[in-house]
Amino acid sequence: MCHRLLDGILDFFFEYETPRMVTVRNKHIGIIFRFIQLAVLMYIIGWVFLHEKGYQSTDSIISSVSVKMKGVATGNVSGLGQRVWDVADYTFPSQGSDSFVIMTNYIVTAGQREMVCKQHSSSGTCKSDRDCFAGQHQRNGQGIMTGKCIDENGQNTCEIFGWCPAENDTIIPEPPLLLAAENFTMFIKNSITFTRFRVSRRNLVESVTGEDLQNCIHHHLQKPLCPIFRLGDIVSAIKQDFPSLARKGGMIGMVIDWSCNLDLPDTHCLPTYTFHNLHGDLDQISTGFNFRYARYYREDGIEKRDLYKVFGIRFDIMVQGKAGKFNLLQTTVAIGSGIGVFGLATVVCDLVLLNFLPKRDYYKQKKFKNAETKPQISESKD
């Protein structure tokens, strides 16, 4: 018993088993087999290694963005006269970040004070006092209703307690007050880090000099690395008309892409800039971009404010990117996965060979060897 057990252990350690190989001379199966192998090889070389760079390990970026605007505009504003707008007037917030607004048009309601007055008809009309619920605020109202329905100039509206005179935002200046914003420039500074590879880069790359920053304007072909952008060129890039966009505002997405192959020197890691229309077509419902803000002051001991409904272009700057660098482990995994895919050729060919060809029974006999569950014992001769 012990002898048999020892023999079994020795057989386990010192025997090697190999699959049975059967060579099939069939041109149809041969063509299918080589075609699948060629397709897999092209996939591994073309897609996995060349396109996806499967031999590299990758890392995403950590990024920061700052923006500075330059430009001055002037024009006449109803009720205020001649005005000049500089960076402090038309940029919100004043310290540029990765999301900011450039004012291109606005409606001003000057000299408002807290008192009782008639709200504008654009907020709704009334037929009697019963339509104006005292102490409540309508969804589109401009103050707290007093409970009175008043008639002025043939229009019945609710009386309110709020900032008066009530705002009339139905008449949007045409042409836009800051049409000169088309020539405003935007200077973008972007710093990124690939922490895994300890590589840091700025969009002020080696080829951008101090002289360039004084004179260059970004152009996707002639000056693709210049970090100074003209607003009119950005709007043209998203195939929009600047005066139409400036009248009611809009939203533009700017993408800074860092796709870097760090097998090359770091100086080859360069940004690319693209722009996207985020506000939709101008003929759709509720297009554009606007917000309100107020400037408060005291006059004759009374607190007053000038209310501005600002139309502008909102910029959202998004930074994306990925860096890759040769890694032996990643290369080994990619090659191993590719070798495994080669097994697909064998599976397909066996499926056809053993199930669809006229001689499938003959091939099955050659490929499989059946072992009897009970070995036959021959009778000994007397």
User: Residues annotated in the binding site for ATP, as ranges?
Assistant: 68-70, 185, 290-292, 309
Q: Quote the tokens at residue 226.
A: 């210049």
Task: Assign 249 to helix, strand or coil.
Answer: coil
Under a CB-based contact definition with an 8 Å cutoff, are residues 144 and 158 in contact?
no
Question: Do residues 227 and 218 make contact, with C-beta atoms less than 8 angstroms apart?
Answer: yes
Cβ contact 201:247 at 8 Å: no
Q: CB under 8 Å to 219, separation ≥6 — which residues?
A: 226, 233
Distance CA 344, CA 234 (A): 50
Could you give the CA distance from residue 274 to residue 253 in angstroms, rounded to a whole number? 8
Q: Which residue(s) pair with 144 in the sheet?
A: 161
Do strands 99-118 and 155-164 pair parallel, antiparallel, or not at all (unpaired)?
Answer: antiparallel
Are the CB atoms for 14 and 8 separated by under 8 Å?
Answer: no
Q: Using CA atoms, how far apart are residues 72 and 87, in angstroms rounded to an integer? A: 7
Q: Would you list which residues are annotated within the binding site?
A: 68-70, 185, 290-292, 309
What span, in angstroms and rounded, lies between the C-alpha atoms of 305 and 295? 5
Kindly state the DSSP code that residue 267 receives in the 8-state scheme.
G
CB 136 within 8 A of CB 326: no
Contact status, residue 100 vs residue 298, Cβ threshold 8 Å:
no
